[in-house]
Structure 1
Amino acid sequence: MKSLKTLLYFSIFKYPLSAKEIYLFSAAENEREVNIELDYLKQKGVVSTNKDFYFLDNNVSSVDRRIEGNRMANLVMDKAIRKGVLISKFPYVKSVGISGALSKNYHDKNGDVDYFVITKSERLWIARTLLMLYKKIFLFNSRKFFCINYFVTEDSLEISEKNIFTATELLTLIPISGDFKDFYNQNQWVSNFLPNLEIGKTSITSLTKKPLLSGFIERTLNNKPGSVLESVCLKLTLKKWTSKFQDLSKEDFKIAMKSTQGVSKHHPQNFQKQVIDKLNQKYQEFQSKYDIELEKEHA
């Protein structure tokens, strides 16, 4: 029941889908298979429809919520792109993309804009530190349009956590600046989860020449002292996070706050695990209620 798995996943975000979207975000072989499944689920009272959107639990209010969220996403997208271009001008930043809710064309008054950043190798933590200092000093630590919570280096592009959540995030990523070709090439595994979504998008803007200050910083730190500073930035950040997020188990910390030479994640809520756990719980509930068995997801 591939359509149901897709609807259950997006129901966690209270986000109804069209039949076309259900097909794209499923492993169904074709749209006819999806339509047959949806008709069956409607007859069983599992799925409801309104304004050409399908949803669960008779949650008709989610349709208007989605429509409003789509409208707000269109309003903020240009500003989000401009901020992404700004991020791309910082030292050692190679590529920038929009992730999170906005990458799925949704935004609300409490939402922020998440960015995924690829940096040069062995300089991730300097790049991250400079961006965080900019946010704290010039943006008064506001996350609204400057939430940079996931960095990887150009030699650590393969995402190690391979599941439906990370596949969805990667395939909905909106490249803003830089070349994502190698990133997509090294993450072809996403098609095992979502084969109907095309992998590989071109950035919205061309990567322009770095500002003089960024170029100067890179030239100044492309040496042994720069490598020492990189190590210091990593150690200080890791020490701060270890102290601040003591409530996370060691296993959860390694995933949610991954801090290596090639990866930096700042996800203290461990949203990936929350989503997978909620999804498996929904699978179990639907099996008990409707006798529809669904294979569990892994984190």
Structure 2
Amino acid sequence: MTQPTHVDTHARQAQDGTREARIEGFGFWCNDIPNWEAAQAFARTGELLGTAPSKPSPEMLPANERRRAPESVAVALEVAQAAVAMSGRDPKALPSIFASTDGDLVITDYVCATLRDAPDSISPTKFHNSVHNAAAGYWTIGHGCMAPSSAVTAYYWTFAQGLMEALIQLANGEEAVVLSAFDTGSVGPLSTVSTGRGLLGAGFVLSNAEGGTRLRARFVDGDPDPNQGALGQKMQINRMSRMLPLIDAMALGKDAVVNLDAGIGRVLQVELIHAP
């Protein structure tokens, strides 16, 4: 019997709403866990591997820019950079998606307070870091990337929507896509509305290539999985924690089906299939 062709696979996916991709690269950063190797160890043993910096320091930025970059930009670039490095692809050629629930509420609080108290003294640097696509701007400028870039937010459902956006771009013909999902904490009056805390980010390079570790995803009715894994328990205070059932499953290296929060009464059902 002949094997289905690549086109046949996409036709089947389009009919039932399932999208599929190969995970070519992955990056991770959260408080106390500064890379994917440390995350895998923590997920499997609950132990932290030594000390970790309080803020990522993405090497793609010049030293002065690394010091000035806000936490949101730093973590978004760190995990995207790690994922691309693992994939071996050229970042200049990759479309990018940056998904964040709130962007940078520390800077938003600063801008609002300064506009109230001393509007003439607002910092141009902090102002340009306040926009939701700040990380995308740093990424594309830093790498000289002319490929399309998107900034996504969808409240608690941001990761599910960002992941599906990446999969749809692949289904529409892109060879590979980098996805960076991240959130920080909040301060000031906004912290009573956005209760997220801590610093969390994950980066993926997804492609249409055959083989390797894969994921299949589709929207279905249902309830999301709780954060029962080690990483989920540690970082459930962060707004991006709804991605962690998938990250915990990846860290354990086992095939799994996880349901990620995608809206009221809806989930993104993700089947994770590890390479042998």
TM-score normalized by the length of structure 2: 0.27
Highest CA radius of gyration, 1 or 2? 1
Structure with greater helix share of residues: 1
- Give the strand-richer structure, 1 or 2: 2
